[in-house]
Amino acid sequence: MTAQWIERAPAKVNLTLHVVRRRLDGFHDLESLVAFTGAGDTVTLSAASDTSLTVEGPTAAAAGATADNLVLKAVEALAARVPGLRSGAFHLIKRLPAAAGIGGGSSDAAAALRLLASANELSVSDPRLLEAAAAIGSDVPVCLDPRARLMSGRGDLLAGPLAMPVLFAVLVNPGVPLETREVFARIGLRSGEELGYGAHPAVPQALSSDALFALLKRGRNDMEDAASVLAPVIGHVIAVLSAARGCKLARMSGSGATCFALFETCRAAARAASVMRRDHPEWWVKATVLR
C-alpha cells in the first residue's frame, strides 16, 4: 500500500492588523492577532519517486500556474535545508479564493511542510521547517502551527498560542483579487517611516468572549483604507456584513479583499451567510468558526 499523508490548510484571518513601520529592507513590521478557520484547502502527499503537484477544486482556476504554486516552493525551501529530503506526489484541493487576504497559498505551503515533516520523520518543531517557512513568504510561519496567536515583525515573530473562545464568523470575498504589495504601495510609507496610528492593544494569554470583543474593537486593520481605494467594493462588503442581524464586528482580513463579520451564535452566522448568498450570488461566502 502506497504511503499517504493528508493535511488541512485552513484559512488565516487577521482579526487585527496594525502596520508599525516600513523597514529598511523594504518589508513592513506588523502586529496582528491571527485566528484560523474551519474552512480551507486540503493537501495530500503520496510516496513517489519524483515531486509533482496536481490541483483541483472550485477555486483551482484562480490559483495560477502549477509551477509557481507555493506547495512546490515549500519542497524547494525544505530540500535546501534537509539533505536527502523525501518528497512525492502532492494533490491540492483548492476551496479558498486566491490573492484574498486569508493566506490560502501560505497555508497550502505550510501544510506541505507538515506533510514533508511526516514523510521524513521530522518534528514539526524542527527549526529547519520554520526557516523554510520564512523563506517562502511572510504569512507561512504563522500557518505552520495554525492556532490563534499574536504575530509581529514581518510575520516571523510568533507569540505562543492563545486560549481564545471560539468565534462564529462569516467570510465574504467579492471576487476581486488584491496583491499585498499594491496595498502597501498605496499606504506609501517611506523606508524607515512609521505609520503612527498607535500601538496594538495588549493580548493576554487567555481571553473571555467579552474581553476578546473589547480588544478587537480597540484594534483595527491599517490596510483597509488603502485596499478600499483599490477595490471600492470592500466598503460595500463591510457595510453589508455590518448590517447583518447579530453582527458584533465587521472588518477586512489581511490586505483584502476578503472581509469577515463576527456573530454571537452559530445560527446567526449561518443565517447571515444564507442571506448574503441569496442577495450576492457572485460573492464567495462562507460561514465558519475561528479558533
Query: Domain ranges in the chain?
Result: 4-158, 167-290
Per CATH, domain 4-158 is 3.30.70.20:
no
Mean pLDDT of the chain: 96
Report pLDDT for 1: 44
User: In angstroms, rounded to a whole number, what is the distance separating the alpha carbons of residues 260 and 251?
Assistant: 6
* CB crowding 201-220: b at 16 or more within 10 Å, else e: bebeeebeeeebbebbeebb
> 253: which 3 cell numbers?
482580513
Structural Rg of the chain based on CA atoms: 19
Backbone angles phi, psi at 198, to 5 degrees: 110, 155
What is the distance between the alpha carbons of residues 104 and 185, in angstroms, rounded to a whole number?
22
Could you report the per-residue pLDDT of 23-48, keeping only the tens digit for each?
999 999 999 999 999 889 999 999 99
Q: Does the domain at residues 167-290 carry the CATH identifier 3.30.470.10?
A: no
Q: Is 12 a catalytic residue?
A: yes
Beta bridge partners of 18: 31
Residue 92 neighbours by CB under 8 Å, 6+ apart: 41, 42, 43, 44, 53, 54, 55, 56, 57, 60, 63, 69, 71, 108
* Cβ atoms within 10 Å of 104's Cβ, excluding its own: 28
Place of cell 506547495: 71
pLDDT for 65: 86
Provide the pairing of β-strand 157-158 with 149-153.
antiparallel
Catalytic residue among 12, 73, 94, 286: 12
3-class secondary-structure state, position 217: helix
- Rounded (to 5) percent helix, strand, coil in the chain: 35, 30, 35
Neighbours of 54 (CB within 10 A): 12
Q: Which of the residues 41, 108, 139, 222 is marked catalytic? A: 139
Model pTM?
0.96
Low-confidence ranges of the chain (pLDDT < 70): 1
What integer pLDDT is reported at residue 112 of this predicted model? 98
Give residue 264's pLDDT. 94
Residue 41 near residue 92 (C-beta atoms within 8 A): yes
